[in-house]
């Protein structure tokens, strides 16, 4: 290599590719914008398709309901990103699944038009989902130990309290603000009503993205005007790097049941 040759920076190439994917999504959405009644479904299909391309293979995508070992259930969720390495859906029929919250990395609510009412409904659904994820049960194999003079293994049971990440994607919005600053003000006010948390809200028509900073009360936001899809995809990719998932503890789900 010539001493004057530019130093390769492959991470920039990766970012450029991710930007190209986001730009392609925007072009597809722009072409399909006239189909007002189908906007939510179109946005969901485009986001679903991109996530299949960019997520590590240890994840898969589904739609359905999150459940907990205590018997609680979430609302129907449009897109669920779940662990595909240690776990599988508890039930998957006709494209709709039941997903133990222990197996779920993130949920995405997709809206055609996000209004104040729809935002409150989405935050309520996220609040319920986060409650489900406040006590997740896992099990890991342990090393051999001696019991009554004989070698055996004892599984290690433990719980984690980090709920799945949560996102809202909307094709357009009505009543949330005429500017990005106005939208952020509206979002902060809604988050502060019940101290809700959302990892990202992407408004595609406006090209806005914002999420709540962790441990901020009252709510503080991060994000920007422009590159909404790029920020959305980047947030999902960065978040999965430090989100641990283990084999779920099926014993917790089977408590109280008797074989037939």
What is the residue-level pLDDT of the chain in tens, covering all 260 positions? 455 655 555 555 677 777 788 788 778 777 766 655 677 788 888 888 889 888 888 899 999 999 999 989 999 999 999 998 888 766 665 556 889 999 999 999 999 889 999 999 999 999 999 999 999 999 987 666 677 777 777 788 899 999 999 999 998 899 999 999 999 999 999 999 999 999 999 998 899 999 999 999 999 999 999 989 889 989 999 998 888 889 999 999 888 665 55
82 near 62, Cβ under 8 Å?
yes
Rounded distance, CA 35 to CA 48, Å? 19
* pLDDT at residue 50 in the model: 86
* pLDDT at residue 92 in the model: 62
Cβ neighbors of 250 (< 8 A, separation 6 or more) are 139
* pLDDT at residue 153 in the model: 74
* pLDDT at residue 204 in the model: 87
* pLDDT at residue 242 in the model: 83
Q: What are phi and psi for residue 97, nearest 5 degrees?
A: -125, 165
* pLDDT at residue 148 in the model: 76
> Residue 96: in which H helix or E strand, if any?
strand 96-100
What's the whole-model pTM score? 0.85
Rounded distance, CA 224 to CA 220, Å? 13
* pLDDT at residue 145 in the model: 67
**Which tokens is 78 given?**
């449009």
Q: Nearest 5 degrees, angle CA 229-CA 224-CA 187?
A: 95
Residue 119: helix, strand or coil by DSSP? helix
Residue 88 zone, left/alpha/beta (φ > 0; ψ -120 to 50; rest): beta
* pLDDT at residue 41 in the model: 80
Q: At what angle do helices 116-132 and 180-193 cross, to 10 degrees?
A: 50
């Amino acid at each position: 290599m010539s001493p004057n040759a530019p130093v390769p920076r492959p991470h920039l190439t990766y970012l450029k590719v991710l930007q190209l994917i986001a730009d392609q999504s925007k072009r597809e959405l722009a072409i399909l914008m006239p189909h007002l009644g189908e906007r939510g479904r179109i946005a969901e299909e485009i986001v679903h398709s991109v996530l299949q391309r960019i997520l590590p293979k240890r994840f898969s995508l589904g739609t359905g309901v999150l459940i907990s070992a205590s018997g609680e259930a979430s609302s129907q969720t449009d897109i669920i990103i779940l662990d595909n390495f240690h776990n599988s859906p508890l039930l998957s029929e006709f494209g709709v699944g039941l997903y133990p919250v222990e197996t779920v990395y993130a949920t995405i609510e997709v809206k055609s038009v996000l209004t104040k009412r729809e935002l409150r409904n989405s935050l309520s659904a996220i609040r319920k989902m986060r409650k489900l994820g406040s006590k997740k049960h896992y099990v890991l194999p342990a090393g051999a130990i001696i019991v009554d003079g004989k070698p055996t293994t004892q599984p290690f049971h433990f719980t984690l309290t980090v709920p799945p990440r949560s996102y809202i994607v909307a094709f357009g919005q009505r009543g949330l603000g005429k500017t990005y600053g106005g939208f952020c003000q509206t979002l902060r006010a809604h988050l502060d009503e019940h101290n809700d948390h959302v990892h990202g809200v992407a408004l595609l028509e406006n090209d806005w993205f914002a999420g709540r900073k962790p441990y901020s009360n009252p709510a503080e936001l991060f994000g920007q005007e422009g590159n909404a899809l790029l920020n959305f995809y980047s947030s999902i990719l960065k978040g999965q790097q430090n989100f641990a998932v283990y084999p779920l503890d099926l014993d917790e789900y089977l408590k109280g049941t008797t074989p037939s």
